[in-house]
Structures are given as structure tokens and as C-alpha cells.
Amino acid sequence: MSVSVLMRPAARRSRQGSGRTRAEGDRSFLAKGVIIALGFTLLATIMFSLAAGASDASVVSVIGALMPGADSANNVLSLRDSIIIYDIRLPRVVLGALIGASLAVSGAVMQGLFRNPLADPGIVGVSAGAGLGAVSVIVLGGTVLAPLVTIFGFYALSIAAFFGALVFTLVLYGVATRRGQTSIATMLLAGIALGAMAGAYIGLLTYLADDRQLRDLTFWTLGSLAGSNWAKIAAAGPFIVAALLVSPFLARSLNGLALGEASASHLGIPVQRFKRIAIIVVAAATGASVAVSGGIGFVGVVVPHLLRLVIGPDHRYLLPAAALLGASLLLLADAVSRTIVAPSELPIGIVTAAVGAPFFLWILLRSRGILDL
């Protein structure tokens, strides 16, 4: 009898889930549901962002104008609203969604690569490196870097930001990692040092800038989606989209790397090649984003951490969920920045920092056991 009693719980577990066994703690079903919900959330956020602002266009009219069956936007929207929606807000929403997704995915990849939940392009200096490359082109594009601008045209800004982010990521990884182990203290201190170094050079370039360049740099360094247009999307979009398309293929290796580099190698993962690909993905996504939007911080640390609390650390679900949630959160932050001080506009970097900095502090306190929430 004792054997049959012991077998009953196992039998019940084996019948759970419509005849398929699901291991205890498996959150894949929940993760899939969260991804679907985040997809609908992103669609709703896009509609809200298109309708929010000084224009009196409603969400219903915007949806009607964007429907494939609509003969003309003027049948639903006025001429003024059509210009605002299609020429101003739509490029801004597309660019904001791309940047939010890229920053969140970059944060998730970096946290998996460093095996540390505090890794983020903005915190550890990668965004500062991208900013240094972009500012160099803005200020020196007509003199020292004129050949680069001549060769690459409007792609020069994104390319310079990409290489700036790439160099800083390589330096950060080399300094913070020893024998396959990454020190959180070394990583944060190295990030502070790299950010300070980039800030010094950016300050020097700002001093050399003329009045027009100075106005652009002042607003750009705070982070903003103002001035978004289809040309900026064409310049940064290919880098961001390529990084987002490659990132799902990193999921298996990121999961294996969580066990340690030695264990990942035993699982057949080419660790060194994977590291190089992951660093290039982060540099491309971060560099292109910073080039067109400036410094927007904390998206990369807040979004992946929130999702891990809900769906777990499996990167097969974490990366797409981070892309969707990152896009939604940045669009919401942009809507707040456009409306909270209307008709003026608050730099979006201020909004994300106001929310992300306390959350980052909470993560630090929680990781040290001070908070058990």
C-alpha cells in the first residue's frame, strides 16, 4: 500500500497539463502568455502615442486612418492632423519603439553575458562610448572627420556611435572579467571610469562646438525623440533591426552561459565566438539608438529585471518579451514627456531616469539582502 500511496502524487503530476508532464517551476506557458499580452499592449501603446498630443485627433480616428481599407487619411483626419500623424508622430513612434526594444534587449544580453542583473549599456559606460562617437561626428564632421561623413553620408553618425560602443564594451569586458568570472564591483567601477572619460572628451568637444552644434548637443545629451523623421529611421533602423533579429539566436548560448563558461563549453557552445557576437549585437543596438536619440538610461536594466521576476530567466522568452516591453515603456515615457509640460517638451531621458534610478537602487538593496520584497 505504501508504494501505491507514493505513486499517486507522481501519477497526478504526470497527468497535469492535458497529458503532458510539466516540471515544477516551469514558467514557459506563463511566458508565452505574457509575450502575447505584451504584443497587444504594444499595439495599444502605439495607438495612444499617435493620438496623444496637441492635435485633437482621437484614437478611433487614428486607427481608421491607418486601416488598409481607408481611401484617404483626409476622409478621417483633417489635413492638419494628417500631417501631424504621418509626418511627425508616426516616425517618432516607429523610432521610439525601435530604440526601446534595442535598449531592453541590449540590457538583457549584457546581463546574460556578464551573468549580472545590474549590467546595462547606460550604467556601465557603453552608451557613453556611443555618445562619444556620435558627438565626435556632430562637432568634427565638417573638419577632421569630414572624410567619414563624405563616405558614409547620413550613416556616419550611426557608424561612429557603433564603434564607440564596441570599443567601450570590449574594454569593459576585458577589465571586469578574469578567468571567466565577472566582478560586479569591478564592472561598475570600470563603467564609472569609462563614463567619466567619455564625459571629459564630450565636454571638450562641446567646448569646441559652435552655437548651432551646442544647441543640438545640449538637448541631445539629455535624450529625446524630438526631430524624429524617416531619414533618422533609415540611418539607425538597419543596425537596430539587424541586432534584434540576431538576438533570439543568442538565447540558447545565454542560457548555457548562466551555468558558467566551463559548463557552457561542455554543452557544445562556442563560448569565445558567442561572446564576440553578443558584444557586436549590443554595440550595434546601443550605438544606433544613442546616435539618434541621445542618452536614454535605465531601460536596459529595468525591463529585463521586471520580466525575470515574472517569467523567469529563460532567454528564449526573455529576449522577445524585453523587446516588446521596452518598446511600450519608451513610448509611454515619450508620451509623458510630450504632454506633462505641454506645449513644451521634457527630454525623455529625464523621465526614464526619474523612474529607473529608484528602481536601480531597489535592485542594489535587494541584491544585498537589505530588502526582501
Q: Are residues 315 and 284 in the same domain?
A: no
Q: What number of other Cβ atoms are within 10 A of residue 11's Cβ?
A: 10
Q: Are residues 282 and 318 in the same domain?
A: no
| CATH code of residue 160 | 1.10.3470.10
Q: Are residues 187 and 263 in the same domain?
A: yes
Q: Are residues 143 and 224 in the same domain?
A: yes
First-to-last C-alpha distance (Å) of the chain: 44
Q: Within a domain: residue 160?
A: yes
Q: Within a domain: residue 57?
A: no
Q: Are residues 216 and 235 in the same domain?
A: yes
Q: Are residues 254 and 335 in the same domain?
A: no
Q: Are residues 283 and 306 in the same domain?
A: no
CA angle 330, 332, 336 (to 5 degrees): 115
Residue 66's Cα: distance from chain center in Å? 26
- Final residue of a structural domain among 266, 295, 324: 295
Q: Are residues 247 and 313 in the same domain?
A: no
The size of the chain, in residues, is 373
Q: Are residues 236 and 338 in the same domain?
A: no
Residue 195 sits in which domain range?
118-295
The predicted structure's pLDDT at residue 13: 43
Q: Are residues 160 and 204 in the same domain?
A: yes
Q: Are residues 138 and 250 in the same domain?
A: yes
Cis peptide leading into residue 343 (ω within 30°): yes
User: What are the cell numbers at 107?
Assistant: 540590457
3-state secondary structure 74-109: HHCCCHHHHHHHHHHHHHHHHHHHHHHHHHHHHHHH
- Integer Cα distance of 46 and 332 in angstroms: 9
Q: Are residues 255 and 335 in the same domain?
A: no
Beta bridge partners of 178: 181
Q: From first to last of the 373 residues of the chain, give the pLDDT tens digit.
A: 444 443 444 444 444 444 445 555 678 889 999 999 999 999 999 988 887 766 666 666 666 666 665 554 445 566 777 777 788 888 999 999 999 999 999 999 989 988 888 788 877 788 889 889 989 988 888 888 888 888 888 788 888 888 898 899 888 888 887 776 667 678 778 888 998 999 899 889 988 888 888 877 876 777 888 878 888 898 889 989 999 999 999 999 999 988 888 888 888 888 888 888 888 898 889 888 988 888 888 888 889 988 998 998 999 999 999 999 999 999 999 988 888 876 777 888 888 888 888 887 887 777 666 555 4
**Looking at the 3D structure of the chain, how many domains does it have?**
2
Q: Rounded to two decimals, what is the model's pTM?
A: 0.81
- Final residue of a structural domain among 254, 270, 295: 295
User: What are the cell numbers at 322?
Assistant: 524585453
323 contact partners, CB below 8 Å, separation of at least 6: 101, 104, 105, 244, 247
Phi/psi of residue 303, nearest 5 degrees: -65, -55
User: What secondary structure does DSSP assign to 235-256, as a single string?
Assistant: HHHHHHHHHHHHGGGGHHHHHH
- Burial zone of 347 (CB within 10 Å; 0-12 exposed, 13-18 middle, 19+ buried): buried
- Integer Cα distance of 119 and 112 in angstroms: 9
Do 303 and 107 contact (CB within 8 A), yes or no?
A: yes
- Final residue of a structural domain among 238, 273, 295: 295
